Structure 1
């Protein structure tokens, strides 16, 4: 009975036959193996105990059509937190979008059209997708991935030494100020490159008597740690490290221009009360009879009161 219900619920999956076979294989194993499997998958399904998250399961009509979403170049916002309960749901939805994008790209010459951008802030905490594997080929499939992380140590903690190295090597890096980790500062100082610095020797009268040249970092660790607000060091393959400026999205010229061209929002005018007609009755207390001629009763005409 349970297997029949599970098999029926899998009809909505993209590959129902494969998942039904997996379900049958699960119930064919012994109790000890089933217990081990359920203990492993229980954390991934813990979001079903959260009322707000469980409501996202929805109905057939409310389900997200990922293929249509990608074809229409839609935008999807996922808001999460460092929560062991909800994080698997956010990760699964992100992974499903990426998996579908990869499949569609493979069916259309290897590149997705229109392209897809994944902007994953605090990816190591909120959305721990397998970035070390995605970065290998997503760029070639017209899928751009932006991630935000606190430090290189955070990447190593989530994806390991090898995985963090893969992510770093395949990425354009924006380094914001405020870092205090000595290892990170030394690493980014080395990435900034070196330049020749000339030191002059002067006599007691201030006259230059000689000079020496030595190699120094383009940006020292102290300079990186104290970058001004909204200044970043840009590290990209093929160009020297440089200092760039980031801008808040709502301050961009294109965004302001788009907002100016939006139709203004209007509110419905307030209904004016009809002026008081002479001779109509005025408010009267229980002991005070009203004055004037009686007001006509409203008449319903085609749904409107007259």
Structure 2
């Protein structure tokens, strides 16, 4: 009967089987070492006695083996030599054990995925200094002109991904996403996505910074600091009054709508938010998108507001948008709108009802106040084209599934379009780059073709960071094909704590790959024992291991690089901790005061 025990050996296990020639060589050098140790002991003993010691060599070794101590160390007491030898052997043995333990800790235990993935991983060298700094200077030729890569601050090198994890809790080189990377992150709540990604990325953005969220935490931590550091404006788009701050600007979604394509793209952000999944698959979804785009184009051409679009949606026989489209030469679009208005009432009502559901934000006066010209003064108009060539900051806030979510997506998309246009005037790349942190993207920033945008945004100096709670959350919005496209186009992918989808973790396990493990077996029979070691291939990280990734840690997949385990760098571990803490405290006070003021106004106090 055989008893088997398995031990991981992530780096091969060649020594486990052993080779006779190597053992012979080691044994010979071991004998030489023992002889030399005796000679050193004799030499030390001769220093404290009147005795002497013969020169070390083959003859001296022969005298030692034959017990001719009188020739080996004449006049030196042999007991003293033995004592010194014992002390030396003990000291060497102790140092050897300590050294072995230190080396083993640094190399990691057998089966440690950190050791298997990160030790000797040269694939991620381009994400660390000095390569990352050199790349930053090359990509930002204008904003970093004349700068030496070695002298760059971390915020100029790139977006901090984390520190390379090493065995026994140690960390290695710091890794960065470059200014041409596109980042996709999957992290559960309280896994570090806000503290280690959103806040640091907004805080350290070298140019314009955009952040979406369903909470006010990123705004609270960064708004005051960004305003002080850049000397430029911080915009807060908060139609749901999450932060209870007064409105200080408005944005016109129709300002730059001049073509059918412009209108259709804007309408897509509204239809994608319909809760009924089936509406996107039957006739109502596409028909509603076409209707909204026709009315939006008519309103834009007539220099009307989004409020007018809302009124037209409630009048299925309104002739004015048809007349406007005809007057501006959009004959086919006008005919299509007329046909929609004149079809059988059941079909027409279904289309208009779906469109009104998609654009329900147009019926909310509080939301509409952010996208229609205000009465009086003191409220500026936000222009995406000015924003992308500045160092300003924009926070877009909306509660999940809020009616205002389409406006968040539309505004983000408008900024992407403006940034692409601006990059063309800068030689093809926006400099300094735009950093766009799309937290809760699947809930409040549903840009229909975001997966397709990922294929070229990075090359334009636009760095999107899309943060999702899970892969399946993205599939519900962009479909399986869309998420596969985004996965393929993202050059940096991060997986944090809380991955519970067994299909995803098993897929990641296969992508991470395998390594050699040694299987040791011992059997006893016929009065003899047999010991054998075999090698076999096994996943470096199984699905259960990936699921147990700790909070504040992440699994990194970078283009053409081996998977890597990271320890992320939250803001409270960096040099800005005091400044950010003070900013959060100040913002919380402002939120509290705003909430009290809002409550008093609502109740007439």
- TM over 0.5: same fold? yes
For the pair 1:127 / 2:437, whether they are aligned, the reply is no
Contact kept, 8 Å, 1:57 with 1:63, in 2: the verdict is: no
Shift of 1:44: 4.2
Shift of 1:164: 0.9
For the pair 1:24 / 2:343, whether they are aligned, the reply is no
Aligned pairs for 1:151-170 within 5 A: 151-170=470-489
Q: 1:192 maps to which residue?
A: 512
For the pair 1:113 / 2:431, whether they are aligned, the reply is yes
Q: 2:569 maps to which residue?
A: 247
Unaligned runs of 5+ in 2: 1-251, 261-296, 303-320, 327-332, 342-347, 587-605
Structure 1 counterpart SS, 2:533: strand
How far apart are the structure 1 equivalents of 2:467 and 2:483?
A: 13
For the pair 1:142 / 2:461, whether they are aligned, the reply is yes
For the pair 1:201 / 2:521, whether they are aligned, the reply is yes
Q: Per-residue displacement from partner, 1:21-71 (whole Å, max 9, x unpaired)?
A: 984146555655145775554344321222332221253752112122122
How far apart are the structure 1 equivalents of 2:523 and 2:336?
A: 89
Corresponding residue to 1:227 among 516, 525, 549: 549
Larger radius of gyration: 2
Contact kept, 8 Å, 2:451 with 2:489, in 1: the verdict is: no
Q: Per-residue displacement from partner, 1:60-100 (whole Å, max 9, x unpaired)?
A: 75211212212222111111222252211111111111111
The range that moved more, 38-47 or 183-192, is 38-47
The range that moved more, 77-86 or 40-49, is 40-49
For the pair 1:91 / 2:398, whether they are aligned, the reply is no
Count of paired positions: 252
Contact kept, 8 Å, 2:506 with 2:543, in 1: the verdict is: yes
Q: Per-residue displacement from partner, 1:167-214 (whole Å, max 9, x unpaired)?
A: 111222211232222111111111211111111223569x88211111
Q: Per the alignment, do residues 222 and 29 of structure 1 end up closer, same or farther by CA in structure 2, a change over 3 Å counting?
A: closer
Corresponding residue to 1:104 among 411, 422, 426: 422
For the pair 1:214 / 2:536, whether they are aligned, the reply is yes
Q: Per-residue displacement from partner, 1:87-119 (whole Å, max 9, x unpaired)?
A: 111111111111111111123221112211111
Q: Per the alignment, do residues 239 and 94 of structure 1 end up closer, same or farther by CA in structure 2, a change over 3 Å counting?
A: same
Over aligned residue pairs, what C-alpha RMSD do you find? 3.1
Shift of 1:131: 1.4
Q: TM-score normalised to the size of structure 2?
A: 0.38
Shift of 1:223: 0.7
Shift of 1:258: 5.1
Identify which of structures 1 and 2 has the higher relative contact order when contacts are C-alpha pairs closer than 8 Å and 6+ apart: 2
Q: TM-score normalised to the size of structure 1?
A: 0.72
Corresponding residue to 2:387 among 65, 69, 94: 69
How far apart are the structure 2 equivalents of 1:233 and 1:213?
A: 27
How far apart are the structure 2 equivalents of 1:57 and 1:65?
A: 12
How far apart are the structure 2 equivalents of 1:140 and 1:235?
A: 19
Q: Per the alignment, do residues 259 and 179 of structure 1 end up closer, same or farther by CA in structure 2, a change over 3 Å counting?
A: closer
